[in-house]
A = this chain, B = another copy of it.
C-alpha cells in the first residue's frame, strides 16, 4: 500500500499497466498516463475544471450519433487529426500530400462515367475537374478508383440535409488507360464545421471561428499503391491561413479558373506512393 499523493501516484498508475500482455498497448497506456498526469500538474487542474472536462466529454458523447461525430471534430480542432495524418503519411518527394479525412465520407457512393456531373442536382457554380493519377515514378495509373465528395453552394454536404434521399456532390470515378479522369461538379465554398455542440462552445470561448476554406475531398485507391486521402483547396478561398482543422498544405492549394461561359475549370494531378514491396 503506497502513498497516493501528487508525487507518487503516477508511478503507481504506470505500475498497474506493467502486466499488459500487448507491448504496443503497454507503450500507449504508459505514455498516455505520463502526459495526462503532466498536463494536470502543469496547469494545477482544479476539481471544478476536472468536472467541467467530464461534463464536456459526456456532452460530446451524447451529441454523437451515426450522422454526427463530435469526438472527431474535437480531435480535428485540436490539431490531433492532422498531426496523426502527418505522422503516418511521410511520403517521398513528389507524392501528393495527405490531409484529414473528415466526417463526411460515405461508403458506396454512386459511380459516374468520364465527363458526367456528380453534383446530381446540388446547387452551385458549374465546374469541370480533370487531371491524371500517376505513380511517383511517373507511370500512369489506369483504373484508379477516386471517391470525390464536397459541400454544395450553401456549405452543406448531402448527408447534412435530412430531406435528401440521393447522393449529391459525391461520387466515384475511375481513371482511364492513361490514368486520366474528368467529371463535372460545382465549385466548393467555405463552410463552418458543425458548431452547435460542445466543440462549437469551445471554439466560441477561445475566439476561434469554425470555418474551413473551400475544398474538394479525394480518396484514391489503386492496387499496388498507398491509398491517398486528401483535399484540393481553392486558392481564392477565405480561411486558407486559419482552417479550423489545420488541414491546409500549400501543395494542395490550386486555382479554379473561370471560363468564358462563367463555369470553372480545375486541373490537378495526383501522385501516389507505391506500397512497400
A88: interface (CB < 8 Å): yes
Question: Given the interface contacts A1-B253, A35-B38, A75-B54, does A9 sit within 8 Å of B205 by beta carbon?
Answer: no
| Nearest CB in chain B: distance from A213 CB, A | 9
A71: interface (CB < 8 Å): yes
A259: interface (CB < 8 Å): no
User: Which residues of A, 69-104, contact B by the 8 Å Cβ criterion?
Assistant: 69, 71-72, 75, 78-88, 99
Closest to A37 in B: B83
A163: interface (CB < 8 Å): no
Across the interface, do B47 and A85 meet the contact criterion of CB distance under 8 Å?
yes
Size of the chain A interface, CB-CB below 8 angstroms: 75
Question: Given the interface contacts A50-B75, A205-B22, does A248 sit within 8 Å of B37 by beta carbon?
Answer: no
A153: interface (CB < 8 Å): no
A246: interface (CB < 8 Å): yes
User: Which residues of A, 254-276, contact B by the 8 Å Cβ criterion?
Assistant: none
A19: interface (CB < 8 Å): yes
A236: interface (CB < 8 Å): no
| Nearest CB in chain B: distance from A225 CB, A | 17
The complex is assembled from copies of this chain, and their number is 2
Question: Given the interface contacts A5-B86, A86-B9, A205-B22, does A27 sit within 8 Å of B46 by beta carbon?
Answer: no
Across the interface, do A84 and B20 meet the contact criterion of CB distance under 8 Å?
no
Across the interface, do A205 and B71 meet the contact criterion of CB distance under 8 Å?
no
The winner among A44, A75, A83 for most chain B CB atoms within 10 A is A83
Which among A59-67, A129-137, A144-152, A183-191 touches the partner chain?
A: A59-67
Provide the residues of chain B in CB contact with A165, threshold 8 Å: none
| Nearest CB in chain B: distance from A178 CB, A | 31
- Kindly list the 3 A-B residue pairs having the minimum CB-CB distance in the complex, ordered from nearest: A61-B61, A13-B79, A35-B39
Binding site for B on A (CB under 8 A): 1-6, 9-10, 12-13, 16-17, 19-22, 25-29, 31-33, 35-47, 49-50, 54, 57-58, 60-62, 64, 69, 71-72, 75, 78-88, 99, 205-208, 240-242, 246-250, 253
* 26 A–B contacts from the bound complex (CB under 8 Å): A3-B250, A4-B82, A9-B86, A9-B246, A10-B79, A12-B246, A13-B78, A17-B206, A19-B207, A19-B208, A20-B205, A20-B206, A28-B45, A28-B49, A35-B35, A36-B80, A37-B79, A40-B83, A41-B83, A41-B87, A47-B84, A50-B81, A50-B84, A54-B75, A58-B69, A61-B71
